[in-house]
């Protein structure tokens, strides 16, 4: 790769850093935990990188390392998105609950538990 | 158009998807959709990567990649689905750590693939950065997981000469990195990777349990940067964009979290937090002999039922006891009796910012009953009862009054301003930060010992019958 290449990548890197800063600065504090989890899932895209490495790996050592990398990256991307989705599921039930609250109460616990288990 | 061009375009779409995903997380309404868009973008990029000529023609390697993905997914899905909401922070820690490990392995393996023949210096530099940061993130996250999962003590772990040892390991890594840069030697790189793993461990050990969320956020940003580094190594725009997005946002989030605790990031990471706690330990001893007022569920239940305004201050103890549904039941009962009830949520209550909101949302507590600290504090002086459930450090007046305290400067919920203070606690054990709470010995404070869920269930029964 020529040095022009590295400058191109640096350009992308710097611009992405500014985008990352800009997008995140508007997140309300109650969503910080889902945000951390969601951004954790986003870097799980490292899986694409591990797959590319797997394509080039030769010999037992390289293939073993690449295999391990693919497993770890899959954990990151799959686990990350599923955990985030579960967290955000919790926020969804709100308006319905407020309506239900007028009619009765103290059934919220079991209802949300069922919704949690039932969805997905 | 060539296949390579198509791939680049698909990766561009995926990168936009990730930006949209993070943007979606900025409002509760779009958060879930944002996350799904992110997942779809990732799935699209991963699916298209199978068209990569080298991977497609690699035979066994392609099969192995698929097997590895199946194995990973088979572990990740049930784990992520079944984990309790209280265990979310350590789940994020561990999923983050494996991502860092994957990034480090990419850099290492690419280095092996390009061997023999010494690559350009900046190529080695990219590899070094990816291996170093990825390894620190991996082992650091593992220790953070162990602390939160209570596999090890949540207290800061300190030992004599700690700073010196840390500095030596840091210097050794720097030396090895320079040597690798000059020689391009694989063994030196491997030794550096091992030392980087050790650095992750000793970096996290002295950080107290209460500060671990900030740490996880920082390690999340580290993994992002490690992924960006492996993107440089692999010439992949997608990895650079995604990794950098997470790196930049993670650092910003980390800063916001430490601000919520009223401390600077260096203070959290490097302060002699451990030694201060040890000093406080002596005070603990004398403190525990002082009398506290313990109440019965009957006394407290009646006090609650005939109060005008009750403020619930939830903390991690509520989460551990899985008592979020019971507290909601109690709050609803009190509301029916005409008591004004709201929840005062400290920004760092629980073990991550927003952790309490997630838990209470799980129990369908309405948003308008949740008040952020700044909104709740002005109302504390008009409250009849502050019901502190499983919280300690976030209501500790020492954060405001005693400059020697390790949590000095952290904003607190002013439970002490309420007319009566009720603590539901498991024991007199100090909170996560490991320091004594004067409020427990205040004459207006009543303690109800026991598991938060049991205590709350008893209170519910008393309130029902009164």
Q: How do the domains of chain A map onto residue ranges?
A: 31-104
Check whether residue B47 and residue B177 sit in a common domain. yes
Check whether residue B376 and residue B327 sit in a common domain. yes
CA distance A99 to chain B (A): 10
Active site residues of B: 393
Which pLDDT does position A26 carry in this prediction?
Answer: 59
B173 Cβ contact partners less than 8 Å away, ≥ 6 residues apart: B132, B192, B195, B196, B199
Check whether residue B153 and residue B259 sit in a common domain. yes
What is the share, in percent, of chain B residues with pLDDT greater than 90? 41
Is residue B282 assigned to a domain?
A: no
Give the tens place of pLDDT for each residue, A30-82: 677 888 899 999 999 999 999 999 999 999 999 999 999 999 999 999 999 99
The number of distinct structural domains making up chain B is: 2
- HEC readout, chain B: CCHHHHHHHHHHHHHHHHHHHHHHCCCHHHHHHHHHHHHHHHHHHHHHHCCCHHHHCCCHHHHHHHHHHHHHHHHHHHHHHHCCHHHHHHHHHHHHHHHHHHHHHHHHHHHHHHCCCCCCHHHHHHHHHHHHHHHHHHHHHHHHHHHHCCCCCCCCCCCCCHHHHHHHHHHHHHHHHHHHHHHCCHHHHHHHHHHHHHHHHHHHCCCCHHHHHHHHHHHHHHHHHHHHHHHHHHCCHHHHHHHHHHHHHHHHHHHHHHHHCCCCHHHHHHCCHHHHHHHHHHHHHHHHCCCCCECCHHHHHHHHHCCCEEEEEECHHHHHCCCHHHHHHHHHHHHHCCCEEEEEECCCCCCCCCHHHHHHHHCCCCHHHEEEHHHHHHHHCCCCEEEEECCCHHHCCHHHHCCCCCCCCCCCCCHHHCCEEEEEECCCCCCCCCCCCHHHHCCCEEEEECCHHHHHHHHHHHHHHC
Check whether residue B269 and residue B295 sit in a common domain. no
Look at B39 and A1 and tell me if their CB atoms are within 8 Å. Answer: no
Is residue B230 assigned to a domain?
A: yes
Check whether residue B80 and residue B175 sit in a common domain. yes
Give the tens place of pLDDT for each residue, A71-86: 999 999 999 999 998 8
Is residue B286 assigned to a domain?
A: no
- Scan residues 9-48 of B and list those with Cβ closer than 8 Å to A: 11, 14, 18-19, 21-23, 25-28, 31-32, 34-36, 38-39, 42, 45-46
Look at B19 and A61 and tell me if their CB atoms are within 8 Å. Answer: no
Give the tens place of pLDDT for each residue, A5-19: 788 899 999 999 999
Check whether residue B128 and residue B238 sit in a common domain. yes
Is residue B212 assigned to a domain?
A: yes
Single residue among B273, B303, B334 that ends a domain in this structure: B273
Distance CA(B255)–CA(B85), nearest Å, equals: 24
- What's the CATH code of the domain at B341? 3.40.50.1220
Check whether residue B218 and residue B347 sit in a common domain. no
* Domain extent at residue B439: 291-465
Is residue B205 assigned to a domain?
A: yes
**pLDDT tier at B285, thresholds 50, 70, 90:** very low
Give the tens place of pLDDT for each residue, B109-165: 999 988 666 678 888 899 999 999 999 999 999 999 998 888 887 777 888 888 888
Query: Quick count: other Cβ atoms within 10 Å of Cβ B266?
Result: 9
Look at B243 and A120 and tell me if their CB atoms are within 8 Å. Answer: no
pLDDT at A107 over 70: no
Check whether residue B309 and residue B241 sit in a common domain. no
Is residue B281 assigned to a domain?
A: no
Check whether residue B299 and residue B379 sit in a common domain. yes
Look at B22 and A90 and tell me if their CB atoms are within 8 Å. Answer: no
Check whether residue B318 and residue B266 sit in a common domain. no
Which pLDDT does position B117 carry in this prediction?
Answer: 64
**ipTM of the predicted structure?**
0.78
Which pLDDT does position B240 carry in this prediction?
Answer: 95
Which pLDDT does position B247 carry in this prediction?
Answer: 94
Single residue among B244, B273, B302 that ends a domain in this structure: B273
Of the listed ranges A1-15, B1-15, B450-464, the one predicted with least confidence: A1-15
């Amino acid at each position: 790769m020529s040095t022009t290449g590295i400058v191109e990548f640096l350009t992308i890197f710097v611009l992405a850093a500014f985008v990352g800063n800009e997008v995140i600065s508007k997140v309300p504090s109650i969503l910080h935990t889902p945000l951390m989890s969601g951004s954790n899932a986003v870097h799980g895209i490292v899986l694409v990188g591990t797959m590319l490495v797997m394509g080039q790996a030769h010999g037992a050592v390289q293939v073993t390392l690449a295999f391990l990398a693919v497993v770890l990256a899959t954990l990151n991307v799959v686990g990350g998105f599923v955990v985030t989705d579960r967290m955000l599921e919790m926020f969804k039930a709100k308006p319905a609950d407020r309506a239900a609250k007028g009619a009765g109460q103290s059934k919220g616990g079991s209802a949300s538990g069922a919704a949690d288990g039932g969805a997905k | 158009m060539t296949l390579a061009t198509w791939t680049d375009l698909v990766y561009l779409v995926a990168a936009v998807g990730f930006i949209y995903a993070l943007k979606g997380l900025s409002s509760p309404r779009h958060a879930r959709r944002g996350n799904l868009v992110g997942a779809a973008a990732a799935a699209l990029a991963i699916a298209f990567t199978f068209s990569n000529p080298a991977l497609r023609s690699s035979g066994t390697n392609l099969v192995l990649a698929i097997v590895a993905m199946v194995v990973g997914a088979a572990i990740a899905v049930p784990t992520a689905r079944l984990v309790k909401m209280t265990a979310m922070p350590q789940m994020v820690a561990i999923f983050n750590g494996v991502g860092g490990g994957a990034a480090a392995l990419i850099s290492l393996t690419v280095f092996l693939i390009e061997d023999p023949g010494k690559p350009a210096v900046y190529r080695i530099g990219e590899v070094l950065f990816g291996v170093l940061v990825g390894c620190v993130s991996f082992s650091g996250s593992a220790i953070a997981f162990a602390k939160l999962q209570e596999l090890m003590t949540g207290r800061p772990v300190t030992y004599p000469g700690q700073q010196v040892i840390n500095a030596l390991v840091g210097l050794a890594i720097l030396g090895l990195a320079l040597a690798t840069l000059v020689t391009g030697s694989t063994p030196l790189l491997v030794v550096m990777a091992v030392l980087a793993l050790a650095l992750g461990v000793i970096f996290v050990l002295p950080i107290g349990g209460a500060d671990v969320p900030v740490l996880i956020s920082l390690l999340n940003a580290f993994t992002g940067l490690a992924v960006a580094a492996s993107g440089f190594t692999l010439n992949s725009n997608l990895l650079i964009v995604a990794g950098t997005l997470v790196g930049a946002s993670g650092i910003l989030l980390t800063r916001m979290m430490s601000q919520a605790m009223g401390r600077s990031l260096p203070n959290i990471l490097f302060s002699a937090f451990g030694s201060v706690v040890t000093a406080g330990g002596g005070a603990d001893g004398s403190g525990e002999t002082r009398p506290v007022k313990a109440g019965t569920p009957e006394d407290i239940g009646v006090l609650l039922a005939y109060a005008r305004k009750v403020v619930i201050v939830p903390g991690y103890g509520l989460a551990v006891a899985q008592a979020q549904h019971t507290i909601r039941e109690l709050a609803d009962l009190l509301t029916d009796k005409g008591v004004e009830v709201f929840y005062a949520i400290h920004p760092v209550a629980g073990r991550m910012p927003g952790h309490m909101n997630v838990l209470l949302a799980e129990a369908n507590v309405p948003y308008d009953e949740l008040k952020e600290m700044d909104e709740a504090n002005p109302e504390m002086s008009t409250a009849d009862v502050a019901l502190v459930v499983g919280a300690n450090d976030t209501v500790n007046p020492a954060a405001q009054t005693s400059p020697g305290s390790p949590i000095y400067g952290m904003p607190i919920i002013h439970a002490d301003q309420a007319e009566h203070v009720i603590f539901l606690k498991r024991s007199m054990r100090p909170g996560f930060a490991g320091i004594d709470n004067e409020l427990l010995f205040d004459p207006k404070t009543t303690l109800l010992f026991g598991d938060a869920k049991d205590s709350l269930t008893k209170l519910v029964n008393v309130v029902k019958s009164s």
